[in-house]
């Protein structure tokens, strides 16, 4: 394994924090209200086949990264169109996530600080990290993930006095339309967004099992998000859906005597760390995709300009927090084609083209490196 390659454990942690990212801040509530736990369970089942699709796309032409496999599977014109759509989706979600975390910092801790200054500060650190290569972000993720696991578990235990099991009742009493909407929302935000972290697997250790890495990262994210949702709902009840940052509000009730208070500061750190990793992954995907589209050998020269583009979009995406959450509510509607339909289409077309490719043209395929396990 090269020094710049990412190990399986590092990739699992990066995928987990990427998925946790903004959902840990927004709380994961859906129209299903107290039945959102059922929607989350359904979403984790639905994402397994999609993770398999992404792992198979990465194996269409061994030795090539995600975007290169799309070009080879669809051909240059169609592959270019699909890559551009994925890049636009990454830029859009990147702008929303960056704005979400800047609003969190602004509202909770730095009310007198202009949002643009917070955005610029986060973006500057992201540029520095990605210019140091992706493996630096992956190593940070491996270090941060255990801390988030422990802090979520501790806050769950310490908030037991404020919990009320009646907040989960009546069980499965939501309307079918609300349950379906909740499943779609839980599936789209965040699980189907793994399409935008798939390009990272181009620097994954060749001996790693791609599909298993996807599954473990998704499982780690699910454990964190499901635990946080139960904590928020049991403590806040129906009011959880009315708060902008329910995780922060739920933990703020924890108090042990007069000496152990303000533990929500730890949760604030968790949210910022997870959001930082997610923003970094989205920035990398945007830069890597643009590098492939424009024929650059390396994404490095694009980091700064793409960061400025995302920064500008995050300022323009909404006027305030209310408008920002309206964007997030509409995200499943226009993200579904990019995150679900396009990957399935790429895999089907790629398999068909490989199967019916004429023997005379097989020599055009790129030289296969040591294939990853699936």
> What does the DSSP assignment read for 31-90?
TTGGGHHHHHHHHHHHHHHHHHHHHHHHTSSTT--HHHHHHHHH-HHHHHHHHHHHHHHH
**pLDDT of 297 higher than 50:** yes
Mean local confidence (pLDDT), 53-74: 92
End-to-end CA, the chain? 18
Q: Which stretch of 103-107, 218-222, 350-354, 356-360 has the lowest confidence by average pLDDT? A: 356-360
Instruction: Specify which residues 260 forms β-bridges with.
Output: 256
* Average pLDDT over every residue of 42-71: 93
Cis peptide before 349 (omega within 30 of 0): no
Residue-wise pLDDT tens digits, 166-216: 888 888 888 888 899 889 888 988 899 999 999 999 889 888 899 999 999
pLDDT in tens, 99-143: 888 888 888 878 888 889 999 999 999 999 999 889 999 999 999
User: For the chain, which residues make up each domain, given as ranges?
Assistant: 17-357
Per-residue 3-state assignment (H helix, E strand, C coil) for 232-284: HHHHHHHHHHHCCCHHHHHHCCCCECCCECCCHHHHHHHHHHHHHHHHHHHHH
Which residue has better confidence, 366 or 41?
41
What's the pLDDT band for 363 if we cut at 50, 70, 90? very low
Rounded distance between C-alpha atoms, residue 67 and residue 48, angstroms: 21
Match domain 17-357 to its CATH number in 1.20.1740.10, 2.40.340.10, 3.40.50.1240, 2.80.10.50.
1.20.1740.10
Query: What's the whole-model pTM score?
Result: 0.90
How much is the average pLDDT of 78-87?
Answer: 94
Confidence (pLDDT) at 261: 64
**Rounded Cα gap, residues 235 and 246, in angstroms:** 10
Does the pLDDT of residue 5 top 80, yes or no? no
Q: What percent of the chain has pLDDT over 70?
A: 91
Q: Does position 370 have pLDDT exceeding 50, yes or no?
A: no
């Amino acid at each position: 394994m090269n020094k710049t390659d990412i190990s399986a454990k590092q990739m699992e942690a990066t995928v987990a924090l990427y998925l946790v990212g903004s959902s840990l801040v927004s709380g994961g509530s859906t129209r299903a209200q107290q039945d959102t736990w059922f929607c989350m369970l359904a979403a984790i089942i639905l994402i397994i086949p999609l993770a398999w699709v992404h792992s198979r796309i990465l194996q269409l032409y061994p030795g090539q990264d995600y975007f290169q496999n799309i070009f080879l599977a669809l051909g240059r014109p169609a592959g270019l169109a699909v890559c551009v759509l994925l890049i636009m989706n990454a830029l859009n979600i990147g702008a929303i996530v960056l704005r979400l975390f800047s609003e969190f910092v602004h509202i909770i801790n730095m009310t007198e600080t202009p949002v643009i200054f917070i955005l610029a500060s986060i973006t500057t650190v992201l540029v520095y990290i990605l210019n140091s290569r992706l493996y630096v972000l992956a190593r940070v993720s491996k270090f941060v993930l255990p801390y988030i696991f422990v802090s979520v578990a501790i806050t769950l235990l310490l908030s037991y006095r404020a919990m009320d099991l009646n907040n989960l009742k009546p069980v499965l009493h939501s309307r079918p339309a609300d349950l379906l909407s909740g499943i779609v929302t839980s599936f789209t935000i965040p699980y189907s967004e793994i399409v935008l972290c798939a390009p990272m697997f181009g620097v994954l250790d060749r001996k790693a099992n791609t599909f298993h890495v996807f599954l473990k990262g998704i499982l780690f994210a699910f454990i964190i998000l499901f635990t946080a949702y139960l904590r928020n709902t049991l403590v806040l009840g129906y009011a959880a859906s009315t708060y902008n940052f329910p995780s922060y509000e739920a933990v703020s009730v924890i108090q042990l005597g007069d000496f152990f208070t303000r533990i929500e500061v730890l949760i604030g750190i968790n949210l910022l760390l997870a959001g930082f990793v997610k923003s970094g992954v989205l920035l990398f995907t945007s830069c890597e995709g643009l590098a492939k589209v424009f024929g650059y050998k390396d994404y490095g020269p694009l980091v700064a300009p793409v960061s400025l583009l995302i920064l500008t979009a995050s300022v323009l995406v909404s006027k305030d927090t209310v408008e920002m959450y309206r964007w997030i509510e509409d995200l499943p509607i226009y993200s579904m084609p990019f995150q679900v339909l396009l990957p399935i289409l790429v895999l089907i077309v790629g398999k068909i083209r490989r199967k019916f490719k004429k023997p005379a043209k097989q020599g055009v395929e790129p030289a296969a490196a040591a294939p990853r396990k699936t």
